[in-house]
Amino acid sequence: MKRFLRATTVTILLFMAALGASSSPALASDLKSPTQGASLSWGFTSEKFANRPRHIAGYTIHAKLRMSERDIGEKEVNALVRFGPEGINQGDGTWKIMEADTPFAVVINGSGWVVTVHPVI
């Protein structure tokens, strides 16, 4: 199994390199939330409640590797991002999206890049 995963990892990396795909967003500023909200009356900022992206702009290599290791497909991730709940704003420009009936969570940044996918424990 380890050989298969290693071969799959190498294949993915080579394929992405051949396409000229980036393993991460082009700019570091893409990782930051574009919303800078004003303070609300009860002490929270509107940034905490800012809408997350409902589309996928791309996958980091880390996300692709984790999806491969955990046998999670792009269709499943796309469905959760498009139709799932608002998610939890983690305060660093990313949202963690998970549902009760889905065995995994997706972390997506403000630019729509899937950062990682991990099992829900």
Q: What is the rounded CA–CA span in Å between residue 50 and residue 108?
A: 14
> What is the residue range of 64's domain?
2-119
User: For 2-55, what is each residue's pLDDT tens digit?
Assistant: 555 555 555 555 455 444 444 444 433 444 444 434 333 334 444 444 588 999
Q: What is the rounded CA–CA span in Å between residue 73 and residue 102?
A: 13
How many structural domains compose the chain? 1
The whole-number pLDDT of residue 56 equals 95
User: For 57-78, what is each residue's pLDDT tens digit?
Assistant: 999 999 999 999 999 999 999 9
Q: Is the pLDDT of residue 101 over 80?
A: yes
Q: What is the rounded CA–CA span in Å between residue 67 and residue 43?
A: 38
Q: Which amino acid is at 110?
A: G
The whole-number pLDDT of residue 24 equals 43
Q: Is the pLDDT of residue 86 over 90?
A: no
